[in-house]
Amino acid sequence: MMFLLATNWSTNKLVSAPVTGFPPGYALATVFVNGIQSTSSIVNVSVPIPVSTILNNVAKLTNGIQFNFTNNVNALIGVLTTTNLTQPLANWTPLGGVTEISPGQYQFTDIGMKDSKRFYCLFAP
């Protein structure tokens, strides 16, 4: 059993905080409102699997850097950064997710980059 933290909702829609560690496949979902249970529904939880990326259009901006890359449509991808490549990934700083600008085409912009030398790593959360 798992309870989700609602971040936004309406009469027919619920947006939860990000869910991690939930296995893909079928799940039974039930919503409670004011202690009243909804009719349960079976939902299929699918997570797009990232594939090798192809980096393109790297651009140094006046206040940061921007790069594009390709991957599966709807892939969930985050970006880590460090100034020291010898650090283990656990010590890299998460910068957040990327934007899918068209199906399978992603873009990331690091605005306000203060370091002249910064390394980036893409990861699937």
Residue-wise DSSP of 40-59: PEEEEE--PPP---EEEEEE
pLDDT tens figures, 37-95: 989 999 988 776 667 888 888 888 888 889 999 988 888 888 999 989 999 988 999 88
pLDDT at position 42, please? 94
The β-bridge partners of 37 are 32
Collect contacts of 36-45 with beta carbons under 8 A, ≥24 apart.
none
Q: Please, which pLDDT band fits residue 107 given cuts at 50, 70 and 90?
A: very high
pLDDT score, position 8: 85
| Residue of 114 and 58 predicted with greater confidence | 58
Q: Taking the complete model, does pTM exceed 0.85, yes or no?
A: no
